[in-house]
Amino acid sequence: MRSALLVLPVLLAGTGLTLAITSGPGNAYVERVVDGDTVVLGDGSRVRLIGIDAPESDEPCGEQATESLRRMVEHRVVNVGNPESVQDRDRYGRLLRYLDTDADPAATLLISGLATARYDSTDGYDPHPRERRYHALEAAAVAACPTLDANSHWYGDPDGYRKHVKEKRQARQKREREARAKRREAREERREAQRRETQRELERIEREIENSNRDVGQPDGGYTGPRCYAPGGKTWSPC
């Protein structure tokens, strides 16, 4: 697992001295929470949480998602990790990382209905080790929807949440069917290519045999007498 090491300068009150505090291997200081799935570390690096999608700050429930993540990680040292199966950065240049405190903040957002499980192998992105758990947590939130607090995306609308999850599941199943169909098509194309190659090889061998017979100069009607083969056994002449 790749990790970040952050040295956080801390000004000692009343001394004017600076002490370098090392947060430890795999740890980093969260300077600021941007929204429900993005933070800025103490060294200025922007980090996108792996496997979830929270609403933007100006979208419905965006402020609640941002505030929830802020309470969990802002101005704290957290564990930062990137599994080998996930690329280091997204297309916007943000680091892709898990953030962990005493718990998993991403999981907490999913349970509360303030994020959805996304950007994993179910929708065409890199797989990650927690994706099954994240989808299970989102599904559990569906069942518990009536008891979610008022900050939830789906508070008071369990039917809407169930429809949302059903549509996601159907879309995922459609992608899986299409992927299987493409794999079958690719296998058939490979088999057909092999069949054509075999046929071409047989035709080549037949042509070589015909050419060899012509080179020997068989008499009209075909020679049926004894044959004397040249070294290698590929050509012959009447004995």
| pLDDT over 60 at 229, yes or no | yes
Q: What is the mean pLDDT of residues 190-219?
A: 80
- Choice among 93-107, 118-132, 188-202 with the minimum mean pLDDT: 118-132
The pLDDT of residue 161 is 58
pLDDT band for position 222 (cuts 50, 70, 90) = low
* Claim to verify: residue 16 and residue 104 sit in the same structural domain: yes
User: Is the pLDDT higher at 193 or at 233?
Assistant: 193
The pLDDT of residue 143 is 57
Q: Does residue 87 fall inside a structural domain?
A: yes
Q: Does residue 8 fall inside a structural domain?
A: yes
Q: Does residue 16 fall inside a structural domain?
A: yes
Degrees to nearest 5, angle at CA 52 with 112 and 183: 130
**Structure confidence by residue, pLDDT tens digits, 10-45:** 333 333 333 233 334 489 999 999 999 999 999 999
User: Is the pLDDT higher at 182 or at 220?
Assistant: 182
Percent of the chain with pLDDT over 90: 35
| Amino acid identity, position 185 | E
Number of domains in the chain: 2
Q: Can you say whether residue 222 is alpha, beta or left, with left for phi > 0 and alpha for psi between -120 and 50 degrees?
A: left
What is the rounded distance in angstroms from the CA atom of residue 144 to the CA atom of residue 111?
9
The pLDDT of residue 216 is 54
**Structure confidence by residue, pLDDT tens digits, 67-101:** 999 999 999 999 999 998 999 999 899 999 999 99
Q: Last residue of a domain, which of 155, 188, 215?
A: 155
* Claim to verify: residue 104 and residue 134 sit in the same structural domain: yes
Q: Can you say whether residue 149 is alpha, beta or left, with left for phi > 0 and alpha for psi between -120 and 50 degrees?
A: beta
pLDDT band for position 164 (cuts 50, 70, 90) = low
The pLDDT of residue 177 is 87
- Choice among 26-40, 105-119, 162-176 with the minimum mean pLDDT: 162-176
* Claim to verify: residue 21 and residue 36 sit in the same structural domain: yes
* Claim to verify: residue 150 and residue 186 sit in the same structural domain: no
* Claim to verify: residue 121 and residue 170 sit in the same structural domain: no
User: What residue numbers bound the domain in which 30 lies?
Assistant: 2-155
Q: Chain-wide mean pLDDT for the chain?
A: 77
Percent of the chain with pLDDT over 70: 74
* Claim to verify: residue 131 and residue 187 sit in the same structural domain: no
Residues 6+ apart with CB under 8 A from 114: 36, 54, 55, 61, 64, 65, 68, 151, 152, 153
| pLDDT over 90 at 58, yes or no | no
pLDDT band for position 158 (cuts 50, 70, 90) = low
User: At 70, which CATH number?
Assistant: 2.40.50.90
Q: What is the mean pLDDT of residues 200-211?
A: 85
Q: Does residue 219 fall inside a structural domain?
A: no
The pLDDT of residue 235 is 74
The pLDDT of residue 223 is 61
